[in-house]
Chain A
């Protein structure tokens, strides 16, 4: 008897789950048929759905959460300002917890159920895993991954990079090292990264460029993206005593590295790529440990006085928030969304009739020339044969518990 009732409960839960899937399906098919069957809503506007893949609860959620909030905020800001002329812009995003299979399922959902015509993505692994599918479905894809692989137009014809690629960031650091290195010996370098597509993405390019400019790579250490301890790797690195170490991680692992390096008394100059830089580092390890840490500043900080901040301040005011509530990764998400919307605007002007399609938005992106982001990021330009928006980036240093830029936007080719 007892067994039977338990069985009943389990069955009930299972059926409920099924019902939830089914119910959701029928609800959303009705909405999606609204958007697809009639190209315009009651006010005569054309609906454009942009899909979002967020990492909020996964391995890179530390930087993924503010980034996702930035993207959502830009769409809310547009809506607040009355939207885009003649368009009903919508951002539909989901958390995929940094799991590639999950990203693939959500992507199918965005494509088939929500009828998204463009995607704002997140990680390197999933962006690379989706690039073929995206190309086949002709959906322009702006990712938060700046992996050099995505520059390859044959394999990723629908991917766009909105900031300097990880490899270009690494090259920029090498250029800075060569120009600023003191002492008679050639500079020596270590590479600290995690064993994911994201972590390994720039390593070979950095090594190749280091050879070119005369920086000696003396050591490489693999540190997990969620590591809470890295002493053994740092002790190994210390044996080679490199002058500099480039970190390709997100906030969590970077903080671990800086803290353990302080504990072990390592005097190597640590330099982080863009996801290893930002306010989060200082918040986690404290101002005294972070002091002197250098990082790539691909985007502006909320407290920097930039013309592009005006819109964001307007948004924050309306929400009753201040710039203290947001951080650099929020700005990064905001900028990614802004570039996508810019492309949609261009496409909408060029094709005033009918629903906007992926290829049209791709044309819009490819028409973007030297888009001024008001100092929030380096200006971006795309072309049919170039989907890397920029090669320029900045470097900054932690001084008195605050990031300060030490260079302006520059490219390693300058």
Chain B
């Protein structure tokens, strides 16, 4: 067997089949396998609290990958992610609570309904680009949350709706670790799908649309079709994330899906790295855990200066903003780029020139 630590170098492929392989070398496959095993055994050695946090990270990562397909791959900005999460959450809430459907049916349905709604709001994307499209999707955010909070008879208005955790037979996904498994498996499926998506005709069309849409059109790519398709695929995953989140917190209410959530998801994609699946996951973890980390720092400081709790709490917001600005200035490629740099450094070490 080949040495695991010997890295792939150069590009020697003699067939298309070889070129299309998901895992270039055996060592790469084994590395991913180890990572997945670590993820799946995590609840055995991590505390309940961290399992809960990682569940939230996994759910955000699914949403962030969805958004990245739209923004990172197809180059279309969306500020409506929060509302699309809401569509997913409310769809599963209405289907399971009002109509008594099983979670396992309502989950894909939530994705499909969100995909349809996302596709509808994607229609203007043919004419609108950049900032214009951003404002159009902002309209989606406003319209959807308005409908959710006003359509009392269906959505329960501002009081929201109560959901229950999914069940299989007599088993309920009540514990943190069981829900963690559910989310992480869906995350792995999402990653597999989106990594493969990029290797298909559709994925390459997305990249072409992002890089120069007019040139893409001249090459024969149907712009309208692929732009709306990007909205549909992206919204599907956002809807799935919304449904998972709704069943995790067991409640949906319009306040959970405000513009701030949309901005947080955009920040995840930007900080993680546009157009990168790994980046979406890293960004989701970073944005989800940064407030937690900052709170811990505030707690540490307050232990020495108890009278300044209020000041430190306010300072937390400031640091959060500052971290994001610094990221965008110094590493626009995001966490993914940092990771690539580290890998590259070790790959060529000690001859870095």
Contact = CB atoms under 8 A, between A and B. Distances in A.
B351 interface: no
A65 B314 CA distance: 12
A373 interface: no
Given A7-B338, A24-B299, A129-B249, A101 B317 contact: no
B296 A197 contact: no
A6 B253 CA distance: 42
B255 to A, nearest CB: 4
Contacts of B297: 17, 20
- Residue in B255, B290, B314 with the greatest tally of chain A CB atoms within 10 Å: B255
A130 B293 CA distance: 22
Interface in A176-232: 195-197, 199-201
Contact of B300 (A7, A24, A201): A24
B136 interface: no
Given A10-B326, A112-B48, A113-B47, A21 B251 contact: no
The prevalent SS among residues of B at the interface is helix
Interface residues of B, number: 52
A201 B338 contact: no
A253 B122 CA distance: 37
B160 A113 contact: no
A75 B334 CA distance: 45
A133 B249 contact: yes
Contacts of B299: 24, 94
B279 to A, nearest CB: 14
A57 interface: yes
Contacts of B222: none
A106 B295 contact: yes
B197 interface: no
Interface stretch (B15-23, B33-41, B50-58): B50-58
B331 interface: yes
Contact of B296 (A24, A99, A111, A196): A24
Interface string B289-316: 1111111110110000000011001101
A105 B176 CA distance: 13
Contacts, number: 125
- Residue in B52, B56, B261, B286 with the greatest tally of chain A CB atoms within 10 Å: B52
B159 A57 contact: no
B83 interface: no
Contacts of A65: 310
A389 to B, nearest CB: 20
Contact of A10 (B48, B56, B158, B330): B330
Contacts of A125: 253, 255
Nearest to B157: A200
Given A11-B338, A18-B293, A57 B249 contact: no
B160 to A, nearest CB: 6
Nearest to A3: B330
The prevalent SS among residues of A at the interface is helix
B249 A195 contact: no
Nearest to B261: A101
Nearest to B48: A112
B47 A25 contact: yes
A132 interface: yes
A136 B173 CA distance: 12
Given A112-B49, A129-B251, A195-B149, A6 B330 contact: yes
Size band of the A side of the interface? Answer: 35 or more
B292 A105 contact: yes
Contacts of A31: none
A97 B149 contact: no
A79 interface: no
A132 B165 CA distance: 10
A131 B251 contact: yes
Nearest to B174: A136
A358 to B, nearest CB: 15
Interface in B265-304: 286, 289-297, 299-300
A21 B309 CA distance: 18
- Residue in B163, B289, B295, B323 with the greatest tally of chain A CB atoms within 10 Å: B295
B293 A20 contact: yes
Interface of B: 47-50, 52-53, 56, 149, 157-160, 162-165, 174, 176, 249-251, 253-256, 260-261, 286, 289-297, 299-300, 309-310, 313-314, 316-317, 323, 326-327, 330-331, 338, 341
17 contacts: A6-B331, A14-B286, A21-B289, A56-B310, A97-B313, A99-B260, A100-B253, A102-B291, A108-B53, A112-B47, A112-B176, A125-B255, A129-B251, A129-B255, A130-B251, A133-B250, A200-B157
Interface of A: 6-7, 10-11, 13-14, 17-18, 20-21, 23-25, 29, 56-57, 65, 94-95, 97, 99-102, 104-106, 108-109, 111-113, 125, 128-133, 136, 147, 149, 155, 195-197, 199-201
